[in-house]
Amino acid sequence: MTEAFCILIHYHEIALKGKNRSWFERRLIKNIKRQLSGLPFSKVQLNAARIFCFGIDESMWNDYAQRLRKVMGIKHAILMTQVKDDIDTMKSVAAAQLKGLEFSSFRVSARRQYKDFHLSSQEINIMVGQHLQSTYLKPVKLKNADMDVVIELVKGMAYIGHERIYGFGGLPVKTSEQAISMISSGIDSPVSSFEMLKRGVELTYVHFHSAPATSRQSIQNVEEILTVLAGFQIQCRVYMVPLLEIQQKIMADTPNKLWVILFRRAMIKIASMIAEQLAIPALISGESVGQVASQTLSNIRATADAADRPILRPLAGLNKEDIIRIAEKIGTYEISIEPYDDCCSFFVPIHPETKADLEIVRKTEANIDFGKMFTTALKHAEIKTFEHPDYVRKSIDRLEKVSD
């Protein structure tokens, strides 16, 4: 019996695409190959609306799984044994796979890509199921079984496996153009960034800091968050922009009620300047309507007015607990709850404006003589590139080898 291992990947929303589906598929394959770089595989191939990774080392399944979880567009990925589409072989391979594993119930989920196989999916389920039942004396449970043995018949071959990971679905990064994400070390903006990555948007980040008035800690927290988010696009860039001088100017020249709104407008203007330089059409923010007093619709209008392009707010309608759940799932929550002093919270007055009047905000801002402060802030921005530790570790290994 000849058998080989591979990973079978099902995509998500791409399946709903029409004429341009193959363009999305090609991007997804490219992203998978990049994500798996450094792990053994011979080819990543499209076959009957599925993606197969061949020539893998099955003992490293956990490494593949961890990487594939970060590729947007994937519905799920299963470690498979590839055999000829012969029912007796399927039975024995399925039984061999479960040997030594703990489970109290199981099911078989067969699917046929070609309908001319002599058995229906249901017949395969029953035949393989009976074999497993008599081998392991465990009951079949169709709902919530401990063990789901997946069998897929694709172009004359059978693929059998039970180790599966779920992806986040959505669309492959780089299929939906680019955006600038305004990121703090809070809970929300990492989640809003993630939500847009999931829609296939490639992100460049901008973070505003008030060093040296605030500690380096908030910058470090942002860097840690970016290391996590970089995993979804392998690499990302961030502009770390000093805002302190602009904030001091605003605080000197305007009533404290409007500070936060004017800080935000300054951030949006600088983010728009970066977007213009990079020809990026949209900005992203982590605002959620009503979450804090500053995020009222009137305030959102008063800040958004400073932008020359759309600001997407993927969290606008989410509840805080939903946002926290996503932050936990993607691994940014623990970093976001570390103490830090944010550039805005640090200077927040006791009674900030909760229902800003746009005309008053515009007039107040027009009276501030910012001079060249915006271009100067941008000139002093530090641009850093982040890579996910899986890849960084590789380059450190390389460095160590060189210095040996």
Candidates 25, 85, 152, 287; binder of ligand ATP (CB under 6 A) is: 287
Candidates 87, 98, 213, 292; binder of ligand ATP (CB under 6 A) is: 292
Residues numbered 171 to 200 that lie near Mg ion (CB under 5 A) are 184, 186
* Residue 336 in the binding site for Mg ion (CB under 5 A): no
- Looking at the Cβ atoms of 29 and 261, the one nearer to ligand ATP is 261
Q: Is residue 319 a contact partner of residue 183, using CB atoms and an 8 Å limit?
A: no
Q: What is the CA radius of gyration of the chain?
A: 26
Note the maximum CA span of the chain: 83
Candidates 25, 152, 188, 353; binder of ligand ATP (CB under 6 A) is: 188
Residues numbered 64 to 93 that lie near Mg ion (CB under 5 A) are none
Provide CB contacts within 8 A for 90, sequence distance 6+.
83, 124, 128, 151, 158, 160
Candidates 306, 318, 335, 344; binder of ligand ATP (CB under 6 A) is: 344
Task: Name the token pair of 390.
Answer: 């899986």
Candidates 27, 70, 162, 207; binder of ligand ATP (CB under 6 A) is: 207
Which listed option, Mg ion, ligand ATP, none, makes contact with residue 182 (CB within 5 to 8 Å by class)? ligand ATP
* Residue 286 in the binding site for Mg ion (CB under 5 A): no
Provide CB contacts within 8 A for 104, sequence distance 6+.
138, 139, 146
* Residue 193 in the binding site for ligand ATP (CB under 6 A): no
Residues that contact Mg ion, how many (by CB under 5 A): 3
Could you tell me the smallest distance in angstroms from the CB atom of residue 324 to ligand ATP?
A: 11
Which listed option, Mg ion, ligand ATP, none, makes contact with residue 25 (CB within 5 to 8 Å by class)? none
Q: Is residue 341 a contact partner of residue 218, using CB atoms and an 8 Å limit?
A: yes
For 243-355, where are the E strands, in sequence order? Answer: 282-284, 311-312
* Residue 269 in the binding site for ligand ATP (CB under 6 A): no
- Looking at the Cβ atoms of 70 and 207, the one nearer to ligand ATP is 207
Candidates 189, 227, 247, 364; binder of ligand ATP (CB under 6 A) is: 189
Q: What is the DSSP string of 24-63?
A: HHHHHHHHHHHHTTTS--SEEEEETTEEEEES--GGGHHH
Provide CB contacts within 8 A for 301, sequence distance 6+.
356, 358
Provide CB contacts within 8 A for 385, sequence distance 6+.
235, 236, 237
Residues numbered 157 to 186 that lie near ligand ATP (CB under 6 A) are 182-184, 186
* Residue 353 in the binding site for ligand ATP (CB under 6 A): no
331: left (phi over 0), alpha (psi -120 to 50) or beta: left
List contacts with ligand ATP (CB under 6 A): 182-184, 186-189, 206-208, 267, 285-287, 291-292, 294-295, 342-344
